[in-house]
Chains A and B, each alone.
Chain A
Amino acid sequence: MLSADILLVLPLLIPVFSASIAVLFYKSNVAQRWTGVVGAIALCIAGILLFMEVRESGILVTYLGNWPAPFGITLVADHLAATMLVLTGILTLAVAVYSLGAVGEREEHFGYYPLTHVMVMGVCGSFLTGDLFNLFVWFEVMLIASFVLLVLGGRKIQLDGAFKYVLMNVVASTILLAGVSILYGITGSLNMADIAHRIHDIGEPGLVTVIAILFIIAFGMKAALFPLFFWLPASYHVPNIAVSAIFAGLLTKVGAYVMIRVFTLIFTEDIAWTHEIILWLSVLTMFIGVLGAVSQFEWRKILSIHIISQIGYMTLGLALYTPMALAGAVLYVAHNIIIKANLFLAAGIGHHLMGSYELKKLGGLYKYFPIFAAFNLLSAFSLAGVPPLWGFWAKFTVIFSAFQAERWIPAAFAIFVGLLTLYSMMKIWMYAFWKKHPEGDVPEHIQKKKVPLTMMIPVAALTLMTIAIGLFAEPVIEIAMTAAEELLEPERYIHAVLEAAP
């Protein structure tokens, strides 16, 4: 078995080398595609190896450059981080294969593949880092790559979306940096474990709460929480659909992940105050997000606004702060990474066949492409939380723990929002698949079209994954429970980082 030192850096090294090799072969689109797929397979394997090692021996730590814990940068993987890495690997692989059919030569020429690798590196770094300033740096790596991915193609609407995206994210980064600096000022440390260890002895609960609010604002912007979500529906539907899928799967989830990390590890002083704020923000995020989607009639816009309401469930799980609720949050993040991206990928196939994302111009997909329709329907059901799919267990765990905590209003909202989600998903189904094509029958040249295998296989694989996890949920829920227990006992994390230092 590989040592922790190697396992923890592989998810960062593989993307950086894949990106370099892809840039090296900038003249050959074929070579770039291969680095995309091979790099993603390697990342997937690295993630799984890391996960298995975490399952076996608990929290893994490595001290980059051999600098001991509070001084150097540490990389840490617990159950939550390792799970996220596995899912990142799977999603990257699915999107890399899908890109073979969906990304045009012009986008490839302008660096689609290297940029995706760099963005994935930023995502993996954010999952693994145990250092707050390093977290900020990984965020920047991720965002700079995503800025360029957003405008690849250079259409006017893309520049418009990217402007809002860049502006909001720069503001969020600044606030994050301010929060990190003040925290550094009062604790004298940037290492998350070290901060968590010291923060309770500082004796300034007021100041710590202010910093916590700064972090809620910063991560809330990144994760698209109410009321700071409006950049998301303005930008997520503008790039190539493969880019949208990877954004939808990973970027906001990184925001949710760091929020879970920071609010279980560092800001646990005044839970009644900070987590109560997160709770009501989550309820509003869920509700407003889903209402926004009701009025939309563009396939990608419906999906991207739904990201917001889904984020609400994740932070709701965090806010309830019981083992089961946190397990629900973990399940929800995990489920959403896969299923949200999959729905975007399916929308891309719809566009490939019909040439439009406007629901009113679509129709009749079910009649001529029943298999594709079935995959899309199952994914949509999973998102809405219909049993026995994966999404059901995620939603069920969150709502059940809300009832357990006797939080009736948030629980009621969560159920109601689930219904509205189902309504939105049904709207896509009714318009794009079920109803007749606006021109009567589907035009013949569309009937003859075939779904390219490179686009179909990822969608099929991710859907089957959702069904399989739904039917055999026991081990997955067990992993989520273990992750939640680890999160609720931050001493284990602190001990692993600080005590084992060289």
Chain B
Amino acid sequence: MMRSLILQTFTRLLVTLMLLFSLFLLWRGHNLPGGGFIGALVASAAFALHAIAFGVASARSILRYDPRTLMAWGMIFAGAAGLFGLAAGKPYMTGLWLEIHIGESLLKLGTPLIFDIGVFLTVIGMVVAVIFSLEEEEF
């Protein structure tokens, strides 16, 4: 961690933006460039930046959950996303879509989104765990 007023000030702004952007990437990922993996890398970069500016302890507290817990839930989400297909009598991982009409626009929600959220959580957990333990390493 480095104590720099400039870095800390900008980090406060950037972390919020990066986290929002990562959610945006996660959301558009099914049809456009982006997705759970890319979104999670951006989010992990946000936490890494925070860890550099304010220290790992502070970054752990804004993450709220242990990275391992995130990883585990991510795997459960990703694995469970395929079960909907089985429940519908189709092969595992078959994509099922729910179409919601809101006025003019069409909102499509589907099981691939749940899978992507799972990937998102797993990758954040993994990358953040690696970055945090490297930062905490004492030489």
A residues bordering B, Cβ < 8 Å? 3, 5-6, 8-9, 13, 16-17, 19-21, 23-24, 26, 62-66
Q: How far is the CA of A235 from the CA of B89 in the complex (A)?
A: 45
Q: How far is the CA of A20 from the CA of B72 in the complex (A)?
A: 4
On whether the beta carbons of A16 and B79 are closer than 8 Å, the reply is yes
- Provide the residues of chain B in CB contact with A20, threshold 8 Å: 72-73, 75-76, 79
Query: Which chain B residue lies CB-closest to A8?
Result: B92
On whether the beta carbons of B79 and A17 are closer than 8 Å, the reply is yes
Q: How far is the CA of A5 from the CA of B91 in the complex (A)?
A: 5
- Provide the residues of chain A in CB contact with B90, threshold 8 Å: 5, 66
Known contacts A23-B68, A24-B72, A26-B68; A62/B91 CB under 8 A? yes
On whether the beta carbons of B94 and A16 are closer than 8 Å, the reply is no
Any chain A CB within 8 A of the CB of B93?
yes
User: Dominant SS at the A interface?
Assistant: helix
Any chain A CB within 8 A of the CB of B82?
yes
Known contacts A9-B82, A24-B69; A65/B94 CB under 8 A? yes
Q: Which 5 A-B pairs have the closest CB atoms?
A: A23-B72, A24-B72, A20-B75, A66-B94, A65-B93
A selection of 10 A-B contacts at a CB cut-off of 8 Å is: A9-B86, A13-B92, A20-B79, A23-B71, A23-B72, A24-B73, A26-B66, A65-B93, A65-B94, A66-B91
On whether the beta carbons of B86 and A6 are closer than 8 Å, the reply is yes
A277 to chain B, nearest CB (A): 38
Q: How far is the CA of A302 from the CA of B97 in the complex (A)?
A: 57
Q: How far is the CA of A66 from the CA of B68 in the complex (A)?
A: 32
Query: Which chain B residue lies CB-closest to A62?
Result: B91
On whether the beta carbons of A21 and B94 are closer than 8 Å, the reply is no
B91 to chain A, nearest CB (A): 5
- Provide the residues of chain A in CB contact with B75, threshold 8 Å: 16-17, 19-20, 23
Interface centre among A5, A6, A20, A63 (most CB of B within 10 A): A20
- Provide the residues of chain B in CB contact with A63, threshold 8 Å: 91
Interface centre among B71, B86, B92 (most CB of A within 10 A): B92
- Provide the residues of chain A in CB contact with B92, threshold 8 Å: 5-6, 8-9, 13, 62, 64-65
Interface centre among B75, B79, B91, B92 (most CB of A within 10 A): B91
Q: How far is the CA of A445 from the CA of B92 in the complex (A)?
A: 56
- Provide the residues of chain B in CB contact with A5, threshold 8 Å: 86, 90-92
A196 to chain B, nearest CB (A): 22
Any chain A CB within 8 A of the CB of B85?
yes
Interface centre among B66, B72, B89, B90 (most CB of A within 10 A): B72
A9 to chain B, nearest CB (A): 4
Other A-B contacts than A5-B86, A21-B76, 8 sampled, CB-CB below 8 A, are A3-B89, A8-B92, A9-B82, A16-B79, A17-B79, A23-B68, A26-B66, A64-B91
One digit per residue, 1 when the CB lies within 8 angstroms of any chain A CB and 0 when it does not, for chain B 72-112 equals 11011001001001100111111100000000000000000
- Provide the residues of chain B in CB contact with A17, threshold 8 Å: 75-76, 79
- Provide the residues of chain A in CB contact with B95, threshold 8 Å: 65-66
Q: How far is the CA of A64 from the CA of B85 in the complex (A)?
A: 10
A27 to chain B, nearest CB (A): 9
Q: How far is the CA of A24 from the CA of B66 in the complex (A)?
A: 10
A6 to chain B, nearest CB (A): 6
Q: How far is the CA of A430 from the CA of B75 in the complex (A)?
A: 49
Query: Which chain B residue lies CB-closest to A114?
Result: B72
Query: Which chain B residue lies CB-closest to A111?
Result: B68
Known contacts A5-B86, A21-B72; A13/B91 CB under 8 A? no
